[in-house]
Amino acid sequence: MSITTIHTLTGNADSEDPLAALFAIAELNRELERYEELTVRKARNLGLSWHEIAVALGVSRQAVHKRYGRRT
């Protein structure tokens, strides 16, 4: 997983072929979820609070903790 992969998939999601775009969008969603999880783990390792992470993601502290609390 890399930012380059995400950029490539973003470009492919703009395909004129709807099926190709849908495949790219599905893969892009999976890549972004993995990247988000990695970034939340990095943030926690650097001492950021669940509240700070939640604000950055635009969700509640409870939601972010429920989703990532056991993984980090």
Instruction: Give the pTM.
Output: 0.80
pLDDT digits (tens, 9 = 90+) for 6-46: 888 888 888 899 999 999 999 999 999 999 999 999 999 99
- For residue 29, what are the domain limits? 3-68
Domain count of the fold of the chain? 1
Q: What is the chain written as a DSSP string?
A: --HHHHHHHHHHTT-SSHHHHHHHHHHHHHHHHHHHHHHHHHHHHTT--HHHHHHHHTS-HHHHHHHHTTT-
